[in-house]
């Protein structure tokens, strides 16, 4: 009998980076001051606008490969922290990179993620980490849950009037705010709809994860696809702050996210 080493080899792991690149059509997204009348973007139907805030929650990230490879990012919530939930904020450059750790070595060809915070991340009582309202999390209330995506700016045709809310807060004229959220359908209340969406993106190729190889998927999020998709008219749509009103935008979310490219890189070389 040969004494081959039949000990199981330790499983190998690596990292995988998702880079979220926010754009407006072909243009890079540049934030303006709220109320600025310098309109650097335009919808297909000629609505001129700029953006002062843009961001969204991503959760439940899953990687899959052609040979049964599977990685599911750990998702858990507690009063002190939240795992597997990421708030991508245009204003915070570091938030655009999501580094996935302990990914089993192998080939990967697609990624799935959820836009928004689904039922298991919405609980009565405050949560920790990026879901903590005390730390600026976008939480409406228990019934409506979290805002999954926020798009704010100023538009030439916005009918928003100036409002002084007191306490040093104000809404400037011609601004707009589109807040897409809501986590449940309520059969006897049409105002509550589930605007959480899940997207699967194919890489169009495969990339390898190993202890030495840490690939990167470059995901483009296009605000213009959302605004054009609902054929936005800022004279009537400038204040979207409830689940029902946000549903047309939620229904466009699948079109707004695409994988621009993936690249294979060795450890130590980020995007």
How far CA 229 is from CA of 45, 105, 221, 245, in Å, comes to 11, 39, 14, 15
d(CA 79, CA 247): 29
Choose among 138, 126, 247, 147: nearest CA to 192. Answer: 247
**pLDDT higher than 60, residue 142:** yes
d(CA 31, CA 26): 15
Predicted confidence at residue 130, as pLDDT, reads 92
What average pLDDT does the segment 210-223 reach? 96
- DSSP-based three-state secondary structure for 98: strand
Tell me the CA end-to-end span of the chain in Å, nearest whole number: 51
**pLDDT higher than 90, residue 241:** yes
**pLDDT higher than 90, residue 251:** yes
CA angle 86, 91, 97 (to 5 degrees): 40
Residue reference for tokens 């939620």: 250
Choose among 230, 217, 221: nearest CA to 261. Answer: 217
**pLDDT higher than 60, residue 269:** no
Q: Each residue of 51-64: pLDDT tens digit?
A: 999 999 999 999 99
Q: Each residue of 66-96: pLDDT tens digit?
A: 999 999 999 998 888 899 999 999 999 999 9
**pLDDT higher than 90, residue 153:** yes
**pLDDT higher than 80, residue 1:** no
Q: Each residue of 17-42: pLDDT tens digit?
A: 999 999 999 999 999 999 999 999 99
DSSP-derived pairing of the beta strands 239-240 and 175-181: parallel
Q: Kindly report the number of other CB atoms within 10 A of residue 4's CB atom.
A: 6
**pLDDT higher than 80, residue 9:** no
Q: What's the whole-model pTM score? A: 0.91
- pLDDT-above-90 percentage for the chain: 78
Q: Kindly report the number of other CB atoms within 10 A of residue 112's CB atom.
A: 14
Task: Kindly report the length of the chain.
Answer: 271
| Domain range annotation of the chain | 13-263
- Residue 170: partners with Cβ closer than 8 Å, 6 or more residues away: 162, 163, 164
Position with higher pLDDT, 121 vs 14? 14
d(CA 156, CA 42): 10
Position with higher pLDDT, 188 vs 149? 149
Rg (CA), the chain: 21
């Amino acid at each position: 009998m040969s004494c081959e080493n039949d000990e199981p080899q330790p499983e190998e792991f690596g990292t995988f980076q998702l880079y979220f690149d926010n754009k407006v059509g072909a243009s890079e997204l540049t934030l303006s001051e709220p109320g600025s009348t310098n309109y650097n973007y335009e919808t297909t139907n000629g609505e001129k606008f700029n953006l002062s805030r843009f961001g969204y929650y991503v959760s439940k990230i899953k990687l899959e490969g052609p040979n049964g490879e599977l990685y599911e990012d750990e998702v858990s919530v507690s009063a002190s922290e939240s795992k597997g939930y990421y708030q991508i904020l245009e204003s915070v450059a570091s938030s655009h990179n999501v580094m996935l750790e302990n990914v089993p070595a192998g080939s990967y060809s697609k990624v799935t993620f959820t836009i928004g915070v689904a039922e298991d991340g919405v609980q009565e009582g405050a949560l920790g980490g990026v879901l903590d309202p005390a730390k600026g999390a976008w939480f409406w209330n228990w019934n409506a849950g979290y805002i999954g995506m926020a798009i704010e700016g100023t538009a030439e045709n916005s009918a928003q009037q100036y409002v002084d809310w007191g306490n040093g807060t104000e809404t400037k004229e011609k601004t707009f705010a589109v807040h897409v959220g809501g986590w449940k359908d309520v059969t006897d209340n049409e105002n509550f709809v589930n605007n959480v969406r899940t997207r699967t993106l194919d890489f169009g190729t495969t990339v390898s994860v190993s202890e030495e190889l840490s690939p990167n998927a470059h995901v483009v999020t296009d605000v213009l696809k959302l605004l054009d998709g609902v054929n936005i008219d800022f004279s009537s749509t400038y204040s979207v702050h409830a689940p029902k009103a946000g549903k047309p935008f939620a229904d466009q979310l699948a079109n707004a996210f695409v994988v621009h490219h993936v690249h294979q890189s060795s450890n130590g070389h980020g995007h």
